[in-house]
Copies of this chain bind each other. A is one copy, B any other.
Amino acid sequence: MCRVHRYFRGLMEYIFFTDSSLIKGVNIPKSNVGFRKMCKICSAAETLFDKKGFYETSVADICGLAKTAVGTFYIYFKDKTAIYTYLVRNYYVVIKNYLNKYVVDCKSRYEMEREGLKAFIRFGHTYPQCYKIIWGCSYIDPALFEDYYIRFAKSYTDALKKYNEELVDVDYSTMAWVLMGVANFVGLKVLLKHKRLMEKELNSLVDDVMKLLSSGLFLNPPYPADKAAAGDGH
Protein backbone atom coordinates (compact mmCIF):
# COMPACT_ATOMS: atom_id res chain seq x y z
CA MET A 1 0.00 0.00 0.00
CA CYS A 2 1.15 3.49 -0.79
CA ARG A 3 1.16 5.69 2.30
CA VAL A 4 1.35 9.44 1.93
CA HIS A 5 3.41 11.84 4.05
CA ARG A 6 2.66 15.55 3.85
CA TYR A 7 4.88 18.33 5.13
CA PHE A 8 4.67 22.08 4.99
CA ARG A 9 7.75 24.23 4.68
CA GLY A 10 6.89 27.90 4.69
CA LEU A 11 3.84 28.14 2.45
CA MET A 12 4.81 25.21 0.27
CA GLU A 13 3.55 21.70 0.74
CA TYR A 14 5.70 18.65 0.05
CA ILE A 15 3.98 15.36 -0.42
CA PHE A 16 5.91 12.11 -0.31
CA PHE A 17 4.61 8.76 -1.37
CA THR A 18 6.09 5.82 0.45
CA ASP A 19 6.04 4.00 -2.89
CA SER A 20 9.36 5.54 -3.93
CA SER A 21 9.39 3.64 -7.23
CA LEU A 22 7.03 6.36 -8.47
CA ILE A 23 9.95 8.69 -9.10
CA LYS A 24 13.23 7.47 -10.54
CA GLY A 25 16.27 8.34 -8.45
CA VAL A 26 14.26 9.29 -5.35
CA ASN A 27 14.55 7.26 -2.12
CA ILE A 28 11.89 7.80 0.49
CA PRO A 29 13.11 7.83 4.12
CA LYS A 30 11.83 5.44 6.75
CA SER A 31 11.49 7.90 9.64
CA ASN A 32 9.78 11.21 10.28
CA VAL A 33 13.16 12.78 10.98
CA GLY A 34 14.20 11.64 7.49
CA PHE A 35 11.08 13.14 5.90
CA ARG A 36 11.71 16.46 7.61
CA LYS A 37 15.30 16.52 6.32
CA MET A 38 14.16 15.62 2.81
CA CYS A 39 11.60 18.38 2.98
CA LYS A 40 14.25 20.97 3.98
CA ILE A 41 16.40 19.87 1.03
CA CYS A 42 13.43 20.19 -1.36
CA SER A 43 12.57 23.64 -0.12
CA ALA A 44 16.17 24.81 -0.53
CA ALA A 45 16.38 23.33 -4.04
CA GLU A 46 13.16 25.05 -5.05
CA THR A 47 14.38 28.41 -3.79
CA LEU A 48 17.70 28.11 -5.60
CA PHE A 49 16.27 26.74 -8.87
CA ASP A 50 13.96 29.75 -8.87
CA LYS A 51 16.67 32.32 -8.03
CA LYS A 52 19.72 30.99 -9.88
CA GLY A 53 18.25 28.47 -12.29
CA PHE A 54 18.67 24.72 -12.44
CA TYR A 55 22.07 24.68 -14.12
CA GLU A 56 23.70 27.32 -11.94
CA THR A 57 22.62 25.54 -8.76
CA SER A 58 24.89 22.81 -7.38
CA VAL A 59 24.06 20.06 -4.90
CA ALA A 60 26.51 21.79 -2.53
CA ASP A 61 24.51 25.06 -2.86
CA ILE A 62 21.29 23.19 -2.02
CA CYS A 63 22.85 21.52 1.03
CA GLY A 64 24.37 24.81 2.13
CA LEU A 65 20.97 26.51 2.16
CA ALA A 66 19.26 23.47 3.71
CA LYS A 67 22.02 23.27 6.34
CA THR A 68 22.53 19.54 5.71
CA ALA A 69 25.58 17.51 4.76
CA VAL A 70 26.05 16.79 1.06
CA GLY A 71 25.99 13.07 1.94
CA THR A 72 22.43 13.49 3.27
CA PHE A 73 21.29 14.77 -0.13
CA TYR A 74 22.49 11.60 -1.79
CA ILE A 75 20.61 9.38 0.69
CA TYR A 76 17.36 10.70 -0.77
CA PHE A 77 18.21 11.81 -4.30
CA LYS A 78 20.40 10.17 -6.93
CA ASP A 79 21.33 13.57 -8.40
CA LYS A 80 20.10 17.10 -9.11
CA THR A 81 17.79 15.87 -11.87
CA ALA A 82 16.05 13.49 -9.44
CA ILE A 83 15.15 16.33 -7.06
CA TYR A 84 13.99 18.46 -10.01
CA THR A 85 11.78 15.60 -11.18
CA TYR A 86 10.42 15.23 -7.67
CA LEU A 87 9.59 18.97 -7.51
CA VAL A 88 7.69 18.88 -10.83
CA ARG A 89 5.77 15.76 -9.77
CA ASN A 90 5.09 17.36 -6.40
CA TYR A 91 3.64 20.44 -8.14
CA TYR A 92 1.30 18.16 -10.02
CA VAL A 93 -0.10 16.75 -6.78
CA VAL A 94 0.01 20.01 -4.83
CA ILE A 95 -1.74 22.03 -7.55
CA LYS A 96 -4.46 19.40 -7.94
CA ASN A 97 -4.99 19.22 -4.17
CA TYR A 98 -5.06 23.01 -3.93
CA LEU A 99 -7.69 23.27 -6.68
CA ASN A 100 -9.75 20.41 -5.23
CA LYS A 101 -9.98 22.19 -1.91
CA TYR A 102 -11.75 25.09 -3.64
CA VAL A 103 -14.07 23.12 -5.91
CA VAL A 104 -15.10 20.28 -3.62
CA ASP A 105 -18.22 22.04 -2.37
CA CYS A 106 -19.26 23.56 -5.70
CA LYS A 107 -22.78 22.82 -6.85
CA SER A 108 -22.28 22.94 -10.63
CA ARG A 109 -19.53 22.56 -13.22
CA TYR A 110 -19.82 26.30 -13.89
CA GLU A 111 -19.08 27.03 -10.25
CA MET A 112 -16.24 24.49 -10.28
CA GLU A 113 -14.62 26.14 -13.29
CA ARG A 114 -14.97 29.58 -11.76
CA GLU A 115 -13.57 28.59 -8.35
CA GLY A 116 -10.89 26.40 -9.96
CA LEU A 117 -9.71 29.24 -12.19
CA LYS A 118 -9.60 31.61 -9.23
CA ALA A 119 -7.64 29.10 -7.17
CA PHE A 120 -5.19 28.44 -10.02
CA ILE A 121 -4.47 32.15 -10.47
CA ARG A 122 -4.00 32.53 -6.72
CA PHE A 123 -1.67 29.54 -6.58
CA GLY A 124 0.51 30.90 -9.42
CA HIS A 125 0.65 34.28 -7.74
CA THR A 126 1.59 32.76 -4.38
CA TYR A 127 4.21 30.37 -5.86
CA PRO A 128 5.50 32.20 -8.94
CA GLN A 129 8.40 29.75 -9.14
CA CYS A 130 5.98 27.07 -10.35
CA TYR A 131 5.82 28.58 -13.86
CA LYS A 132 9.60 28.64 -14.10
CA ILE A 133 10.02 25.11 -12.79
CA ILE A 134 7.22 23.57 -14.87
CA TRP A 135 7.77 25.47 -18.13
CA GLY A 136 11.55 25.40 -17.76
CA CYS A 137 11.09 21.64 -17.66
CA SER A 138 10.42 21.76 -21.43
CA TYR A 139 14.18 22.35 -21.65
CA ILE A 140 15.56 20.45 -18.68
CA ASP A 141 13.53 17.28 -19.12
CA PRO A 142 11.19 17.33 -22.15
CA ALA A 143 9.73 13.89 -21.33
CA LEU A 144 8.79 15.05 -17.82
CA PHE A 145 7.21 18.20 -19.29
CA GLU A 146 5.10 16.13 -21.70
CA ASP A 147 4.10 13.69 -19.00
CA TYR A 148 3.06 16.58 -16.71
CA TYR A 149 0.69 18.16 -19.22
CA ILE A 150 -0.63 14.95 -20.74
CA ARG A 151 -1.57 13.65 -17.27
CA PHE A 152 -3.11 16.98 -16.31
CA ALA A 153 -5.16 17.08 -19.53
CA LYS A 154 -6.28 13.46 -19.17
CA SER A 155 -7.48 14.01 -15.63
CA TYR A 156 -9.20 17.31 -16.58
CA THR A 157 -10.92 15.59 -19.55
CA ASP A 158 -12.20 12.78 -17.32
CA ALA A 159 -13.54 15.32 -14.83
CA LEU A 160 -15.38 17.24 -17.60
CA LYS A 161 -16.94 14.02 -18.97
CA LYS A 162 -18.72 13.47 -15.67
CA TYR A 163 -20.53 16.78 -16.17
CA ASN A 164 -21.60 16.20 -19.79
CA GLU A 165 -25.20 17.10 -18.93
CA GLU A 166 -24.10 20.65 -18.11
CA LEU A 167 -21.61 21.07 -20.96
CA VAL A 168 -21.89 21.66 -24.70
CA ASP A 169 -21.18 18.72 -26.96
CA VAL A 170 -17.57 19.09 -28.14
CA ASP A 171 -14.47 16.95 -27.71
CA TYR A 172 -13.83 17.23 -23.95
CA SER A 173 -10.12 16.80 -24.44
CA THR A 174 -10.10 19.98 -26.55
CA MET A 175 -12.18 21.70 -23.88
CA ALA A 176 -9.66 20.63 -21.22
CA TRP A 177 -6.67 22.03 -23.13
CA VAL A 178 -8.60 25.27 -23.81
CA LEU A 179 -9.34 25.67 -20.10
CA MET A 180 -5.77 24.81 -19.10
CA GLY A 181 -4.47 27.42 -21.56
CA VAL A 182 -6.85 30.07 -20.24
CA ALA A 183 -5.91 29.40 -16.60
CA ASN A 184 -2.17 29.35 -17.30
CA PHE A 185 -2.12 32.52 -19.37
CA VAL A 186 -4.56 34.55 -17.28
CA GLY A 187 -2.44 33.47 -14.30
CA LEU A 188 0.65 34.66 -16.16
CA LYS A 189 -1.01 38.01 -16.89
CA VAL A 190 -1.56 38.49 -13.16
CA LEU A 191 1.93 37.31 -12.26
CA LEU A 192 3.74 39.63 -14.70
CA LYS A 193 2.12 42.65 -13.08
CA HIS A 194 4.33 42.03 -10.03
CA LYS A 195 1.72 43.47 -7.73
CA ARG A 196 -0.19 42.29 -4.70
CA LEU A 197 -3.32 40.42 -5.73
CA MET A 198 -6.45 41.84 -4.15
CA GLU A 199 -9.50 39.60 -3.78
CA LYS A 200 -11.75 42.19 -5.44
CA GLU A 201 -9.47 42.47 -8.46
CA LEU A 202 -9.20 38.68 -8.75
CA ASN A 203 -12.98 38.33 -8.66
CA SER A 204 -13.47 40.93 -11.35
CA LEU A 205 -10.84 39.29 -13.57
CA VAL A 206 -12.40 35.85 -13.13
CA ASP A 207 -15.85 37.34 -13.86
CA ASP A 208 -14.53 38.69 -17.16
CA VAL A 209 -12.99 35.35 -18.10
CA MET A 210 -16.16 33.46 -17.21
CA LYS A 211 -18.20 35.93 -19.28
CA LEU A 212 -15.99 35.06 -22.24
CA LEU A 213 -16.24 31.32 -21.70
CA SER A 214 -19.59 30.52 -20.14
CA SER A 215 -21.93 30.73 -23.14
CA GLY A 216 -19.60 28.60 -25.26
CA LEU A 217 -18.96 25.97 -22.60
CA PHE A 218 -22.16 25.50 -20.66
CA LEU A 219 -25.60 24.50 -21.91
CA ASN A 220 -27.28 26.73 -19.36
CA PRO A 221 -24.76 29.37 -18.37
CA PRO A 222 -25.79 31.39 -15.31
CA TYR A 223 -25.59 34.62 -17.33
CA PRO A 224 -27.42 34.62 -20.65
CA ALA A 225 -25.01 35.14 -23.56
CA ASP A 226 -26.64 38.41 -24.64
CA LYS A 227 -26.46 39.91 -21.14
CA ALA A 228 -22.84 38.91 -20.74
CA ALA A 229 -22.14 40.33 -24.17
CA ALA A 230 -23.72 43.63 -23.22
CA GLY A 231 -21.42 43.68 -20.22
CA ASP A 232 -24.20 44.69 -17.87
CA GLY A 233 -22.96 42.64 -14.95
CA HIS A 234 -25.12 40.29 -12.96
Contact check, B216 vs A170: say whether CB atoms are below 8 A apart: no
Contact check, B185 vs A184: say whether CB atoms are below 8 A apart: yes
Min CB distance A135 to B, Å, is 4
Task: Give Cα distance in the complex from A169 to B208, angstroms.
Answer: 9
Please indicate the chain B residues that have their CB under 8 angstroms from the CB of A60 in the complex.
Answer: none
Dominant secondary structure of chain A at its interface with chain B: helix
- Closest B residue to A220 by beta carbon equals B229
Task: Give Cα distance in the complex from A65 to B211, angstroms.
Answer: 51
A21-38, CB < 8 A from B: none
Task: Give Cα distance in the complex from A231 to B169, angstroms.
Answer: 5
Known contacts A168-B229, A170-B211; is A139 also within 8 Å of B132 by CB?
yes
- Closest B residue to A177 by beta carbon equals B189
Min CB distance A87 to B, Å, is 13
Task: Give Cα distance in the complex from A25 to B3, angstroms.
Answer: 53
Copy total for this chain:
2
Q: Tell me which of B153, B170, B219 contacts A208 (CB under 8 A).
A: B170
- Closest B residue to A49 by beta carbon equals B139
Q: 1/0 contact trace for A166-200 toward B, CB 8 Å?
A: 00111101110110111111101100100000000
Stretch with Cβ within 8 A of B (4 or more), from A4-12, A70-78, A96-104, A142-150: A142-150
Task: Give Cα distance in the complex from A135 to B211, angstroms.
Answer: 28
Min CB distance A133 to B, Å, is 8
Task: Give Cα distance in the complex from A230 to B149, angstroms.
Answer: 29
Which A residues are within 8 Å of any B CB, using their own CB? Answer: 53-55, 131-132, 135-136, 138-140, 142, 146, 149-150, 153, 168-171, 173-175, 177-178, 180-186, 188-189, 192, 205, 208-209, 211-217, 219, 225, 228-231
